[in-house]
């Protein structure tokens, strides 16, 4: 996993449990890459024998500019969370010819989109068709959620962004789909009536109380942050009567999709989930 920081990530635990369960002689490593160093890190993956890597904050958008080919979801969201190096351990797939071009090709995927959709439907029992949603944030994770919801038939999406002028990518992500998208500042989120509210920002809202939509038992609130004991955002939503979920479900589903891209094998979802839950249950050392 390429990110900054990555020390608290559950991904190594999840993937290494899956590799062991299927008898694969693979290992998943955290790769702390500071801002400014991503191009060198990505270019070094094939030389080091990596079959691929996950990419997390703050590098998802930049990673989309460094690979040779993008999946549809990665292109729409302009964010890559999974890099695949085809042909590792076998004949490498040639890269398009060009001066100084290395003899490999990097693929960029975004499994957050399908991972969020699977989480909503399978874990939370939420069908977005004809519904409305509020998403806090306009980065790569928010764009993935927007695309998943629009593909699922969401009727209306409100995006609350600290800097609305930087949220143009949200509309681009759902271009050609029927979902109505409106971007507002955080202050514009207060009192909205929606069926789903998602925190797709790095903040868990602890210590700050943003304007919240109308809450109640008919509202589903999701925080993409996964943390034992929940987050400030989920505490606020729960106090308002909403049904709440943290980000662990989405993490596991997107991890399973990444696993399948790298290995070509079905991911052992129950093993990955159990490993994550066991790690979260461990006391902080």
Average pLDDT over residues 65-74: 97
Q: What is the pLDDT of residues 156-201, one digit of tens each?
A: 999 999 888 889 899 999 999 999 999 999 999 999 999 999 999 9
CA distance 182 to 160: 9
Quote the strand ranges of 174-277, DSSP E: 180-185, 196-199, 220-223, 243-245
Instruction: Say yes or no: 166 and 94 in one domain.
Output: no
The C-alpha angle 3, 106, 33, rounded to 5 degrees, equals: 20
Instruction: Say yes or no: 153 and 215 in one domain.
Output: yes
CA distance 101 to 95: 7
238 given a catalytic annotation: no
- Measured in whole angstroms, how far is the alpha carbon of residue 58 from the centre of its chain? 12
Instruction: Say yes or no: 160 and 235 in one domain.
Output: yes
Instruction: Say yes or no: 30 and 48 in one domain.
Output: yes
Instruction: Say yes or no: 139 and 239 in one domain.
Output: yes
Q: Which of 145, 152, 154 is nearest to 250 (CA)?
A: 145
pLDDT at 13 over 90: yes
Instruction: Say yes or no: 125 and 234 in one domain.
Output: yes
The per-residue pLDDT for 101 is 52
Instruction: Say yes or no: 146 and 237 in one domain.
Output: yes
Instruction: Give the residue ranges of DSSP H helices in the chain.
Output: 11-21, 38-44, 60-63, 72-77, 112-118, 140-151, 168-173, 232-239, 248-263, 269-281
Give me the number of domains the chain comprises.
2
Instruction: Say yes or no: 99 and 6 in one domain.
Output: yes
Instruction: Say yes or no: 81 and 158 in one domain.
Output: no
CATH number, residue 150: 3.40.50.720
The pTM (predicted TM-score) of the whole model is 0.92
pLDDT at 234 over 60: yes
The lowest-confidence range among 23-27, 90-94, 227-231, 245-249 is 90-94
Instruction: Say yes or no: 131 and 225 in one domain.
Output: yes
Given 59, 60, 78, 143, which residue is catalytic? 60
Average pLDDT over residues 36-43: 97
CA distance 18 to 74: 25
pLDDT at 100 over 70: no
Domain residue limits at 121: 113-246
Q: Which of 156, 145, 13 is nearest to 77 (CA)?
A: 145
Instruction: Say yes or no: 117 and 241 in one domain.
Output: yes
CATH number, residue 45: 3.40.50.10860
Instruction: Say yes or no: 178 and 254 in one domain.
Output: no
Residue 155 confidence class, pLDDT cut points 50, 70, 90 = very high
The per-residue pLDDT for 89 is 41
The per-residue pLDDT for 90 is 37
The per-residue pLDDT for 52 is 96
């Amino acid at each position: 996993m390429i990110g900054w920081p990555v020390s608290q990530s559950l991904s190594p635990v999840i993937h290494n449990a899956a590799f062991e369960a299927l008898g694969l002689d693979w290992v998943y490593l955290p790769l702390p890459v500071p801002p400014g160093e991503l191009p060198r890190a990505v270019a070094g993956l094939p030389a080091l024998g990596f079959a691929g890597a996950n990419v997390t904050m703050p590098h998802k958008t930049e990673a989309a500019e460094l690979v040779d080919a993008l999946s549809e979801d990665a292109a729409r969201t302009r964010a890559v969370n999974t890099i695949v190096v085809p042909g590792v351990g076998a004949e490498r797939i040639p890269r398009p010819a060009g001066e100084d071009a290395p003899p490999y090709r990097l693929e960029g995927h975004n499994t957050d989109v399908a991972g969020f959709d699977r989480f909503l439907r399978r874990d939370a029992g939420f069908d977005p068709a004809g519904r409305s949603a509020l998403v806090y944030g306009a980065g790569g994770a928010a764009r993935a959620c927007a695309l998943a919801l629009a593909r699922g038939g969401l009727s209306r999406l409100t995006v609350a962004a600290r800097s609305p002028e930087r949220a143009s990518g949200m509309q681009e992500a759902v271009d050609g789909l029927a979902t109505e998208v409106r971007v507002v500042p955080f202050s514009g989120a207060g009192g909205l009536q929606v069926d789903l509210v998602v925190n797709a920002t790095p903040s868990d809202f602890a210590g700050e109380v943003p304007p919240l939509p109308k809450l109640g038992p008919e509202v589903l609130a999701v925080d993409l942050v996964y943390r034992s004991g929940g987050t400030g955002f989920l505490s606020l939503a729960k106090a308002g009567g909403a049904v709440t979920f943290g980000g662990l479900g989405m993490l596991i589903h997107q991890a399973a999709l990444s696993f399948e891209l790298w290995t070509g094998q079905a991911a052992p979802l129950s093993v990955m989930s159990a490993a994550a839950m066991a790690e979260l249950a461990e006391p902080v050392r």
